[in-house]
Structure 1
Amino acid sequence: MRPTAFSSTRRWRLPAMGLVALLCALPTSLVAAETFQSRYHDYRVETVVDGLEHPWSMVFLPDGDQLVTERAGRLRRIQQGTLVAEPVAGVPELVVAGQGGLLDILLHPDFADNRILLLSYSHSNMDGMTTRVAKARYRDGRLEDVEVIFEALPRSNTSRHFAGRMAFDEDGSLYIAVGDRGEMDRAQATDDDAGGVHRISLDGKPAPGNPWLNEPDVNDTFFTYGNRNIQGMVRHPRTGAIWSHEHGPRGGDEINILTRGTNYGWPEITYGIGYSGLPITDQTHKPGMAQPLHYWDPSIAPSGMDFYFGEAFPQWQGDLFVGALKFQKLVRLRINDKLEVVEEEDLLTDLNDRIRAVYQGPDDALWVLTDETNGRVLRLTPP
């Protein structure tokens, strides 16, 4: 079924005299916010904080604060709506190069009790660069007991496609996306950690139930392979399934539901072409390789994703929201019970900001990170 597409980001306007009267009546904190229209809801966009250097990921702490990663290598704290000047101490050693730096942050499901969080990042040594994951305890504005629990091998000298998105499943196993590192044939090599999703326990060991635990020719942390560069991953709050999206080359960005032991086909099959304009392959289907739930052509460069089940926007409940870097927008997707995208709407197109990540916050607002030198944390609420 072909999705219905809308591009409905429009500023809400009043006649001049009415606007003046409204602004005079509003509290100062609301005057800076803009109101937009979409197919189902009007919504306000306010800047919570700015001054972040390429923010990449964010978590909400039980005390109401937020932690935000900057790709430049800093972990920042937002306390009562204000960006704390001093970065969080104790971030593990990392390298900032190309697409690499400090990437995803994820709270352990029992964070309120154990204070454990996870960080993904790029790391470099004399053998090259790779994607790493460390766990740590967060206390009083600093990280303690930092321990590396995953490192993708072998390393390489490219500075692309680190991926790095993470998610926990209902059993507490950790899913880690590793990109093909810009060397596409590695995504089909099952003795190479690049180009797939790895599933581990918190001690860094392969998670129980992984599909290739007894296969000597396949790395035992693999859950899926044939993935190019996953930059969005989330657990569906109702079904528990892990959803992801990944960058295609020129076209062929994909949304997938991650299924145990599945080959997602890159680069043997793709709906995209090479950056040179030449085909990568003439195949979009092959036996034993999964088809995407949805794909974009041309590419939107998706990054970040979350489902919305809040009360603030009742007619968006169940919809999937995806950030877009290249086309600088937030995409709302409606998916039916047959797992078909039946509606697609573009939001925030007037902001001219690359959207790096999107979250449903504990306040039922949608929170968005903009991937800019002066990056912002935005909050979408009803007018």
Structure 2
Amino acid sequence: MRYLFLPILLILFTACGPEGGSTEETTTQAPDRSADGEPTMMLTAAGVEPETVFNFEDIIWGFTWLPDGRILATVKDGRLLLVEGDSATQVSGVPEVRDAGQGGLLDVLLDQDFATNRYVYLSYSRSEEDGATGFTSVGRGKLSEDGTRLEEFTSLYDGGPATDKGQHFGSRMVWGPNDGHLYFTIGDRGNRDENPQDSTRDGGKVYRITADGDIPEDNPFAGTPNAKEAIYSLGHRNPQGLAVHPTTGKIWEHEHGPRGGDEVNVIEPGKNYGWPVITYGINYDGSQITPEVGMSGMEQPLHYWVPSIAPSGMAFVTGDRYPGWEGDLLVGSLKFSYIKLVHLNGDEVTGEQELIKNTGRVRDVRMGPDNYIYASVEGTGIVRVVPE
């Protein structure tokens, strides 16, 4: 058995519902699942192959398309690239990043009214003045008409305090389709015992702010004394996937577990997703984190993986390029170097397939404006997934 249900001292944490108490007692306990996770889904031949559209050896952490079809791509080392065909121009005016550990220049997102205001949003690891510590930050600047400069860049949210730890920055961004607000993630920053369960601390959260960086009045912690009012949900480990469901408009998230226990969650305001009080994972050295895989007041994942696939990047299949996959979920795998295609029936997982196996560590997954699946692959660049 992977989990030994022995009495241990539970992790002490700050109760952090919107009113400072625990969340509602309506969540059920964990379902009766085996210690090795859910039954393995049948894997079938997918009938697709990767086609490289931009050759690049370094880590493209995130990418998106401009209205004219060119690509903006973030490189972990701090470069923002304007990609046209198989060539790229480095964009100036990008904030300085702390390229250390898992940190660097992370996600990129266009403003909802980009055609008018030219705003580009970036998430990144921002250094303190000493350069030895950093934190996850989200900011925006205006892209010049020729696409070569980012002007008037301003930080909108800093997820401090800064630390010298190099892990668990998050960080993905999406626009809420029903409210127009900016949702983004910050990982627990390697401090699982304090950050994820405490609403007065940043880290281990999904956040929600306005496009200008203000706090929406209906945020679940708005007005709560000492709380970080941008928090939308808490109890997360290291979320590196965020996507909007194309039909329901709900925000879906995935996060790295420790050794096992990678999760897919549907994010609801003010909900607690459990880390590290409940988890399907264990420590990297094989020791137990907690015997609890479920607890009243904490959400169960919609889906999880044991062993870990190390998920990064997330998108839903849209369009008509892949018959039968419409509405299914795409998740990149760093550990196993493939895209995981998760078949869905509503919120129920009905099967899985592995796409473009052994191409390289998949860092980000997006649906392109041409309705093809695209992925950034470490050591390869950006690939398009096409039917064989």
Q: Same fold (TM over 0.5)?
A: yes
AA matched with 1:340: E
Residues 344 and 3 from structure 1, CA distance in 2 versus in 1: closer, same or farther, beyond 3 angstroms? Answer: farther
AA matched with 1:329: Y
**Percent identity, aligned pairs only?**
43
CA distance in 2, matches of 1:153, 1:350: 37
Unaligned runs of 5+ in 1: 9-36
The aligned counterpart of 1:28 is: none
AA matched with 1:247: H
AA matched with 1:162: F
Bigger proportion of residues as helix: 1
CA distance in 2, matches of 1:124, 1:369: 26
Are residues 1:350 and 2:358 paired? yes
The aligned counterpart of 2:192 is: 184
Q: Which residue, out of 65, 90, 106, partners 1:103?
A: 106
Q: Alpha-carbon deviation of 1:220?
A: 0.8
The aligned counterpart of 2:19 is: none
Q: Alpha-carbon deviation of 1:52?
A: 4.0
SS state of the match for residue 233, structure 1?
A: strand
Unaligned runs of 5+ in 2: 1-32
In the TM superposition, 1:310-349 aligns within 5 A as 310-337=319-346, 339-349=347-357
Report if aligned partners of 2:336, 2:358 keep a CA contact under 8 Å in 1.
Answer: no
SS state of the match for residue 196, structure 2?
A: helix
Are residues 1:56 and 2:61 paired? yes
Q: Which residue, out of 247, 250, 265, partners 2:259?
A: 250
Residue deviations 1:20-72 (CA, integer Å, cap 9, x gap): xxxxxxxxxxxxxxxxx51xxx3242111112411110001100100111101
Residues 114 and 3 from structure 1, CA distance in 2 versus in 1: closer, same or farther, beyond 3 angstroms? Answer: farther
Are residues 1:72 and 2:80 paired? no
Are residues 1:369 and 2:376 paired? yes
CA distance in 2, matches of 1:324, 1:45: 15
SS state of the match for residue 134, structure 2?
A: strand
Are residues 1:221 and 2:230 paired? yes
Report if aligned partners of 2:49, 2:356 keep a CA contact under 8 Å in 1.
Answer: no
Q: Alpha-carbon deviation of 1:3?
A: 6.6
Are residues 1:378 and 2:362 paired? no
Are residues 1:306 and 2:315 paired? yes
SS state of the match for residue 266, structure 1?
A: coil
Residue deviations 1:162-191 (CA, integer Å, cap 9, x gap): 001111102211111011011101111111
Q: Which residue, out of 79, 86, 91, partners 1:82?
A: 86
The aligned counterpart of 1:15 is: none
Are residues 1:116 and 2:119 paired? yes
AA matched with 2:161: P
Q: Alpha-carbon deviation of 1:5?
A: 2.2
Q: Alpha-carbon deviation of 1:226?
A: 0.6
Report if aligned partners of 1:331, 1:347 keep a CA contact under 8 Å in 2.
Answer: yes
CA distance in 1, matches of 2:355, 2:244: 23
Q: Alpha-carbon deviation of 1:375?
A: 3.6
The aligned counterpart of 1:359 is: 366
Provide the alpha-carbon RMSD of the alignment: 1.5
SS state of the match for residue 315, structure 2?
A: strand
Residue deviations 1:283-311 (CA, integer Å, cap 9, x gap): 01111110000000000000001001111
The aligned counterpart of 1:7 is: 43
Are residues 1:193 and 2:202 paired? yes
AA matched with 1:376: G
TM-score by length of 1: 0.87
Residues 63 and 218 from structure 1, CA distance in 2 versus in 1: closer, same or farther, beyond 3 angstroms? Answer: same
Are residues 1:154 and 2:190 paired? no
Higher relative contact order (CA 8 A, sep 6+): 2
Report if aligned partners of 1:55, 1:375 keep a CA contact under 8 Å in 2.
Answer: no
SS state of the match for residue 294, structure 2?
A: coil
Report if aligned partners of 1:6, 1:346 keep a CA contact under 8 Å in 2.
Answer: no
CA distance in 2, matches of 1:286, 1:157: 32
Q: Extract structure 1 runs of 4+ deviating beyond 3 A.
A: 1-4
The aligned counterpart of 2:180 is: 172
Q: Alpha-carbon deviation of 1:382?
A: 2.7
AA matched with 2:105: L
Report if aligned partners of 1:228, 1:247 keep a CA contact under 8 Å in 2.
Answer: yes
Deviates more, 1:121-130 or 1:321-330: 121-130
Question: How many aligned positions are there?
Answer: 346
CA distance in 2, matches of 1:3, 1:146: 48
